Structure 1
Amino acid sequence: MPSASVAATRGVVLFTVSLLQVWLAIIVMTSHNVAQSSDGWAGVVTSPVADPDFEALRLHLAKLRHARGWSYDELAARSGVGRATIVALESGRPRRNPTKPATTGTLATWFRIAQAFEIDLGELVRPLYGAHPGSSA
């Protein structure tokens, strides 16, 4: 028969393993979009809408700029948006840290760019819809 200290050690180990399993389950559930129904079933939640097509928006921005014969500096001056930000938006590459994702811009940034091109914001960002159902792109 095991001693009391061995039994206590086993209890601590089993308790620790149980805590680790719970912790791992929490990590796995929170690292995905997970929902749990009232009956306890957990599953991955998918978005009811499509992801925006930022690649198409980048290409559209470049086409608009080139069609007007504007340099990055010209668009920056006309929009009040920094040149580095415009380059990052158009290229899809991060401005400074290559390990971070590229900026997708803020609403204010895209608004200023639309104003510089003298077009509606909706017209500027329409390519975000890509070839998604219900889009006019």
Structure 2
Amino acid sequence: MKIDAVPEPNLATLREVFNRLRHQSGQSYDDLAEASGLSRRTLINIGTGTTHGDLRTWLILARTWSKSMDELLAPVWE
């Protein structure tokens, strides 16, 4: 029996997800930092693709934007 290969997530998509949701929310980096408690530098790094962020960061962003983790992360599998 052949097992299908598990696809790799496209983590570069996280930058696009982050930027789309930040713009939709109308939040500047400063606004988002204040609302989430995350550092402005962390948010800028995600927005520019310098880093993907960690699980804790994405959980906080999901809560800040009232989104589920599924909503935030689904695009990495497309």
**Structures share a fold, TM > 0.5?**
yes
Task: Tell me how far 1:51 sits from its aligned partner.
Answer: 2.0
Pairing 1:57-136 to 2, within 5 Å after superposition: 57-93=14-50, 103-130=51-78
Regions of 4+ moved over 4 Å:
none
Determine which structure has the larger strand proportion and give its number. 1
Structure richer in helix, relative to its length: 2
Supply the RMSD in Å over aligned alpha carbons. Answer: 1.2
Query: Displacement of 1:90 after TM fit?
Result: 1.5
Q: 1:55 aligns with which of 4, 12, 21?
A: 12
Q: What TM-score, normalized by structure 1, do the two folds share? A: 0.50
Q: Which runs of 5+ in 1 are unaligned?
A: 1-47, 94-102, 131-137
Tell me, in whole angstroms, the C-alpha distance in 2 between the residues paired with 1:65 and 1:107.
18
Q: TM-score, normalised by structure 2?
A: 0.83
In 1, distance between residues paired with 2:13 and 2:41? Answer: 20
Give the unaligned 5+ runs of structure 2.
none
Q: Which has the bigger relative contact order, CA under 8 A and spacing at least 6?
A: 2
CA distance in 1, matches of 2:48, 2:9: 16
Residues 12-31 of structure 1: pairs in structure 2 closer than 5 A: none
Q: How many residues align?
A: 74
Q: Which amino acid in the other structure matches residue 124 of structure 1?
A: L
* 1:49 to partner: Cα distance: 2.0
The higher radius of gyration belongs to 1
Percentage of identical aligned residues: 36
Q: Quote how far apart the aligned CAs of 1:117 are.
A: 0.3
